Structure 1
Amino acid sequence: MPSIQKPIPVTLLSGFLGAGKTTLLENILKANHGYKIAVVVNDMSALNIDASLLVNHKVSQKKESMVQLQNGCICCTLRGDLLEEMAGLAFSGKFDYIVIESTGISEPMQVAETFTQEFTTAMLDAEDKVDIGMDEKVLRKIAEHGGLAKLTSLDTAVTVIDSFNFLPNFETFDLLKDRWEIGMPEDERTISDLLVDQIEFSDVIILNKTDTISIKKQNKIKALVRKLNPVAKVISTNFCKVDLKDIINTGLFQFDKAATSAGWLQSIHEMTVRDVAAGSKLAPKPETEEYNINNFVYRARTPFHPLRLHELIRDKFLVMEYNTPSGADVHDGHDHATQEAEDDDEQLEPVDEDGDSPMAQEEWEDESDDESVELIDEKVVLDNKKNSVFGNLLRSKGYFWLATRHILQGEWSQAGAILTIKPGQPWFCVMSENSWPDDETVRSYIKRDFQGIYGDRRNEIVFIGENIDTEKLTKALDHCLLTPTEMRKFERIMKRFNGDVIKTEAKLNVAWEDGFEDWPDIIAGGDDDEE
């Protein structure tokens, strides 16, 4: 077995098509850095690099493919695949540095996960079930060395941004598959979401083509990027001319740091630590506004009325909602608990804030069906957003609690004009503590989120944008919370089905009109006696 003295460092280049990744790669190969570099690219035909630059280097061509692992996650990999290619370069002993130019639609976190031992193990577990196009002997060889991280180590994650198209890409409705006609047909990722993903998971962010925009716009973009990723180094340039020491052998990359470097996540964590230390109520940490880019954290321990929240957002964004896939391992949404809850409606008849009974369920479903086929006018939605409390909101992300969804937390993720709403994991208060992570530090953070009889259920969303009117936005969101009267009704339901989260959820489902798509019904395991 070849002896690996030291893992080969790797720089990962991410960014949209046309941002300047290939130009940056060419600059790296031209430079007098003394490294014997292996380059992994996606499409050799698109790599317009002088052959003379490749005399002392190796370029491997890979194409993008999709692999489904045993755990059901779809991971973007380089066909062949990246894992095997990296190991081959390491075992060859011919190179002392590797540069990966990922495809324009790649999410850097998924590429970075390739370097973990867990990924190697998952590929081995999937070998008998999925055709992953790899030699099992190679996989086992990698595993015996301790995973790809023992052979090659991710040194720097670099994202290249086209400054001219940066802001327009935030406000587009385009899907990746529609703009560039690449990727899988079922790929529903959006341009704005991918742009944010690439920024948030970076050590170095290169703002390229800055000569195409004004100084004022440059400063605005730089301020926004720093809000999205406060820990990354931001470099402004043209033709991707950068000092190589900023992107090669920097030692900057740490997976845990990169996974938690997003501005929205840091804002939540900073707020939490500050609150615990102060022992007081939640309050936004004062922010120094740079070029009018500001952020704040909205928090509430009262659930949202689902219909009012839906009405607030439905015509201000292109709302992309989770739809339960056919054949998924979930209930049909109408089990015995649901039937019992509906049979009890005479005792707890749902009423709206004005005391009126809601429309019949059939009428509500018919109306929802009619709305679902309406064509979305992009200009109208953008105008609605601009003239609303969401105004110049650029990014928001966090968790929310719907009055009708008692088990699963809601995940809120918005980039530009597109807002994605989907179910997350169960609230920790629903789960048995035996199901919590083993790490004591993590468990202490989980417990810190508990408050009162509803545990860790809460609304916690970070908003980042230009001149956000925090007072108006807070007021609009507060209006979507259950009123005191509605909250008393909520509490009666909670007491009636004390500790039975399944029956509680079923009753809450019929207590209020809900404009959101159905989420999968799951049975929470463990002890459910927190209420």
Structure 2
Amino acid sequence: MAVGTSKRNGGQPKVKAQTPSKALPVTLLSGFLGSGKTTLLQHILKTEHGLRIAVVVNDIGAINVDASLIKQTHRLTRTEEKVIALQNGCICCTLRGDLLEELLRLAELEQFDYIIIESSGISEPEQVAETFDKRLAEQMSAVAGGPEGLDEDMVKVLKRLKAAGGLEKFARLDTTVTVIDAFTIYNDFETDDMLSSRREDVQPEDERTVSDLMVDQIEFADVIVLNKMEMVDTKMRARIRDLLSKLNHRAKILETSYGKIEVREIINTGIFSLERAQTGYGWLQDLHAMTLRQVRGCVAVNGKKVITPKPETEEYNIRNFVYTRTRPFHPRRLFKLLHDKFIMQLEVPDDDDDDDDEDDDSDSAMDSDASSSSSDSPSDTDMADDDDDPLDMPPNATILRNKRASPIFSRLFRSKGEFLLATRPHRAGEWSQAGAMITLAGGRPWFCTLPAEQYMTGDAEVDRLVRFDMENGGEWGDRRQELVFIGEGLDVRGLEAVLDGCLLTDEEFGAWEGVMRDGGLDDGKRVEKMQELFDDGFPDWVEDGELEDGDGHDGHDHGSHAHHHRH
């Protein structure tokens, strides 16, 4: 069968009217630019494995496989990306319209045994995987009505999906695979590169970083193909495997050179589960394991103890631990600890007041460098009388040098979780660090601020864990610091000490509790009082409207897995 470069050009068989007899299994292949993903695809297309495979790619030119070398049972096609935003435009309700059209077309042809989707090197695999979510059918009625800008063909596809009962009747996601370059993985953890600096197909305003995307691709994979192993020695191979197993406990790791693997290792495995993938991140599993041991009474909980995951052989000294405390962080001291050792990505609310020059200057400073801006350090008014400690953010190159030189943070590859700021007692902060980059943003409301019916699930085991969080915090409920750290040769006690140094002192904590107990204050006034007591130079957290109008998004996670880790 000849190589095709279009979905609906001349000579293609006419689409059938009926639903296919079976859903085609799909492997989603991710990997960063240069990882060897294209070489792996070439290997699949030229290998005798007895399957008729259709490969769907974003850039057919990049594959560069001579048509005569492709098995006659295969087909290589490309897609032109169509992204369709559904309710609220949130990530979890964004459809890859191009994939929907192509998957339906290939399934209806009934000429193939399998589909491999080569995800763009800049794609987050979870977003593509959610296209296969069964809950997608529930969104069809609204979309099929013809949202603005949706072409007629796409409306027909969505109506067809709705009538059939969802995409699962045509295609099902079987395996997610990520290809990693063994030679560059450590360098990619230490870079400050934005995706836009490495790829011409990334918009300049895209603020994602190389290290963040690489971690996303590693953590979501069912299978990790560790490529270019011929370029690293035996000791480095073991170090990389140990690191990957800590980042993703559940993934199968295949070592290879030049993308040569047994094809059946990544197709027809039947191992993909969206729920399992979204709860299978290494850091999330560490939190869950720690909580189960706490609930079962295996660990004394006093708010001042490092809880490590279950003991493992640490031959190559890649280790992980969970930092838990019930006392809030002082915002200024936390900022001081992090601002010159990590490139900080801080949440900045949209500013609609174009006449406010000061705000415009602050926002433009943030926009000009997505990774950091001195305008987001503790405010100028707070710092005017403290010239010795301005906490201005250094240049990125200086931050990278500082991190590499730090005995505490130099080999910290990943940290993730929730944190409690003294000045923001009603809402959890989300902490996400990958390599030199760290993102601190607003997350869920603490459960203790909500009516029980909004967070109790009816699942006895889940609700037991939630109740444990609430009871463990005593008067202050589930408010806490709960952060997982994964690194090589980590000085756990040293890391614990510097984080403890950011907590409120006894005197400060007494003042904080006094404000919290003042029944004459509403939430707004209480926050104002806290800000008078403790300098807070972090930008305001964007209010998450989805937390208030979650109807129609049952079970979806809008940008944060941290607040679902008990589930």
TM-score over 0.5 for the pair = yes
Partner SS for 1:449: helix
Give the letter for the 1:436 counterpart: Y
Partner of 1:505: 527
Q: Which stretch of the first structure deviates more once superposed, 315-324 or 113-122? A: 113-122
Displacement after TM superposition at 1:378 (Å): 1.5
Does 2:325 match 1:300? yes
Does 2:95 match 1:73? no
Does 2:471 match 1:446? no
1:413 to 432, 441, 452: 432
1:364 to 379, 382, 385: 382
- Decide whether the 8 Å contact of 1:203 with 1:231 is kept in 2: yes
Whole-angstrom CA distance in 2 between matches of 1:243 and 1:367: 65
Encode CA deviations 1:337-389: one digit per residue, 9 max, x unaligned: xxxxxxxxxxxxxxxxxxxxxxx986227699x97986614144333453242
Displacement after TM superposition at 1:273 (Å): 0.4
Partner SS for 1:154: strand
Does 2:46 match 1:47? no
Does 2:342 match 1:317? yes
**Residues 34-433 of structure 1 mapped to structure 2, 5 A cutoff:** 34-52=50-68, 53=70, 55-64=72-81, 66-74=83-91, 80-122=97-139, 124-126=141-143, 128-133=146-151, 135-278=154-297, 280-282=299-301, 283-285=307-309, 286-326=311-351, 363-364=381-382, 376-433=395-452
Whole-angstrom CA distance in 2 between matches of 1:300 and 1:93: 56
Displacement after TM superposition at 1:77 (Å): 7.2
Whole-angstrom CA distance in 1 between matches of 2:503 and 2:319: 24
Structure 1 consecutive aligned stretches of length 4 or more whose deviation exceeds 6 Å:
75-79, 365-368, 370-373, 522-526
- Decide whether the 8 Å contact of 2:411 with 2:488 is kept in 1: yes
Stretches of structure 1 that go unaligned for 5 or more consecutive residues are 329-359, 527-531
Task: Provide closer, same or farther for how the CA distance between residues 385 and 508 of structure 1 changes in structure 2, counting only shifts above 3 A.
Answer: farther
Displacement after TM superposition at 1:510 (Å): 2.5
Partner SS for 1:164: coil
Whole-angstrom CA distance in 1 between matches of 2:341 and 2:240: 23
Whole-angstrom CA distance in 2 between matches of 1:76 and 1:224: 32
Encode CA deviations 1:183-209: one digit per residue, 9 max, x unaligned: 233210000000000000011001100
Partner of 2:559: none
Q: Which stretch of the first structure deviates more once superposed, 166-175 or 80-89? A: 80-89
Displacement after TM superposition at 1:100 (Å): 0.4
Displacement after TM superposition at 1:125 (Å): 2.8
Partner SS for 2:89: coil
Aligned pairs, number = 495
Displacement after TM superposition at 1:112 (Å): 0.4
Task: Provide closer, same or farther for how the CA distance between residues 366 and 74 of structure 1 changes in structure 2, counting only shifts above 3 A.
Answer: farther
1:471 to 493, 496, 503: 493
- Decide whether the 8 Å contact of 1:432 with 1:525 is kept in 2: no
Partner of 2:35: 19
Task: Provide closer, same or farther for how the CA distance between residues 484 and 78 of structure 1 changes in structure 2, counting only shifts above 3 A.
Answer: closer
Encode CA deviations 1:404-454: one digit per residue, 9 max, x unaligned: 011221011111111111111111111222323645244333222213111
Task: Provide closer, same or farther for how the CA distance between residues 167 and 132 of structure 1 changes in structure 2, counting only shifts above 3 A.
Answer: farther
Give the letter for the 1:102 counterpart: S
Encode CA deviations 1:465-519: one digit per residue, 9 max, x unaligned: 0110111110111111111111110111011146843332232232210132222
Whole-angstrom CA distance in 1 between matches of 2:109 and 2:26: 16
Whole-angstrom CA distance in 2 between matches of 1:437 and 1:110: 27
- Decide whether the 8 Å contact of 1:66 with 1:74 is kept in 2: no
Task: Provide closer, same or farther for how the CA distance between residues 284 and 469 of structure 1 changes in structure 2, counting only shifts above 3 A.
Answer: same
Whole-angstrom CA distance in 1 between matches of 2:34 and 2:299: 49
- Decide whether the 8 Å contact of 2:308 with 2:320 is kept in 1: no
Q: Which stretch of the first structure deviates more once superposed, 198-207 or 38-47? A: 38-47
Displacement after TM superposition at 1:390 (Å): 1.6
Q: Which stretch of the first structure deviates more once superposed, 130-139 or 72-81? A: 72-81
Partner of 1:344: none
Give the letter for the 1:173 counterpart: D
Displacement after TM superposition at 1:521 (Å): 5.5
Partner SS for 1:444: helix
Give the letter for the 1:495 counterpart: R
Q: Which stretch of the first structure deviates more once superposed, 516-525 or 274-283? A: 516-525
Q: Aligned-pair RMSD on alpha carbons? A: 2.8
- Decide whether the 8 Å contact of 1:172 with 1:191 is kept in 2: yes
Whole-angstrom CA distance in 1 between matches of 2:396 and 2:205: 23
- Decide whether the 8 Å contact of 1:493 with 1:507 is kept in 2: yes
Whole-angstrom CA distance in 1 between matches of 2:48 and 2:203: 39
Partner of 2:511: 489
1:29 to 35, 45, 49: 45
Give the letter for the 1:226 counterpart: S
- Decide whether the 8 Å contact of 1:394 with 1:416 is kept in 2: yes
Displacement after TM superposition at 1:76 (Å): 10
- Decide whether the 8 Å contact of 1:163 with 1:209 is kept in 2: yes
Whole-angstrom CA distance in 1 between matches of 2:92 and 2:61: 25
- Decide whether the 8 Å contact of 2:22 with 2:170 is kept in 1: yes
TM-score normalised by the chain length of structure 1:
0.87
**% identical equivalent positions:** 46
TM-score normalised by the chain length of structure 2:
0.81
Displacement after TM superposition at 1:179 (Å): 1.3
